[in-house]
């Protein structure tokens, strides 16, 4: 690093001037040593639409105080109809856990984070897989009900939109009460 005490000497035949100054080189946060391999990212409590993600502070703050963290959870490819979810603790540097909201029940996400200081952001952490808990899917959309006979009905329906299918739908049960 170029951080250090620097001295400038200016001299002429008539005088000499010496000035010293400390130079501090700043950079984005760096995860080093034991924290570099995994960035210590773990998954905490998970519900159908929220998850708590815990993480560690960087080993080196870049000689600029850590301002907070940025967390991103990107849906796995099979959930390409979903958007990424983000959370930030910038402004709360001591916070080592974020709750990310707006996740899709039953979906899988890849979550990673970065530390932020006034100079920039750290490298992206390794991703961890987050599997959301399942929720009951929305009911099918009934397209039409026809009286097939005096004792039977013909029901035509469509499954709910893919975004409202919270897991695999294996079938429907129709009940009739007179």
Residues 42-87 have pLDDT tens digits of 898 898 889 999 988 888 889 899 999 999 999 999 888 889 999 9
Query: What is the Cα–Cα distance from 158 to 141, expressed in whole angstroms?
Result: 5
pLDDT band, very low/low/confident/very high, at 138 (cuts 50, 70, 90): low
In the Cβ-directed half-sphere of 144, how many Cα atoms lie within 13 Å?
Answer: 4
The tokens of 130 are what? 């987050």
The tokens of 32 are what? 């080093």
- Which of 167, 164, 38 has the alpha carbon at shortest distance from 111? 38
pLDDT band, very low/low/confident/very high, at 39 (cuts 50, 70, 90): low
**Phi-psi sector, 171: left (phi>0), alpha (psi -120 to 50), beta:** left
Query: What is the Cα–Cα distance from 50 to 104, expressed in whole angstroms?
Result: 9
Q: How far is CA 76 from CA 109, 131, 137, 165, in A?
A: 5, 10, 20, 16
pTM score of the predicted model? 0.67
Work out the mean pLDDT of the chain and round it to a whole number: 84
Q: At CA 77, angle to CA 72 and CA 83, rounded to 5? A: 45
pLDDT band, very low/low/confident/very high, at 6 (cuts 50, 70, 90): very high
Beta bridge partners of residue 66, listed in sequence order: 117
Task: Decide if 83 contacts 56 (C-beta within 8 A).
Answer: no
Task: Decide if 115 contacts 58 (C-beta within 8 A).
Answer: yes
């Amino acid at each position: 690093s170029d951080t250090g005490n620097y001295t400038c000497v200016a001299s002429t035949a008539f005088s000499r001037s010496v000035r010293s100054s400390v130079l501090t080189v700043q950079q984005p946060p760096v995860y080093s040593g034991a924290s570099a391999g995994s960035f210590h990212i773990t998954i905490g409590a998970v519900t159908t639409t929220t998850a708590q993600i815990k993480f560690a502070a960087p080993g080196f703050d870049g000689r600029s105080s850590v301002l907070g963290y940025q967390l991103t959870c990107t849906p796995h490819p099979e959930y390409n109809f979903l958007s990424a979810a983000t959370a930030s603790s910038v402004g709360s540097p001591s916070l080592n856990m974020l709750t990310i909201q707006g996740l899709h029940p039953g979906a899988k996400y890849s979550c990673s984070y970065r530390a932020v200081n006034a100079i920039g952001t750290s490298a992206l952490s390794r991703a961890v897989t987050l599997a959301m808990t399942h929720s009951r899917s929305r009911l099918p959309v009934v397209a039409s009900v026809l009286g097939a006979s005096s004792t039977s009905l013909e029901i035509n329906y469509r499954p709910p939109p893919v975004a409202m299918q919270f897991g695999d739908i294996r079938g429907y049960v129709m009940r009739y009460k007179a």
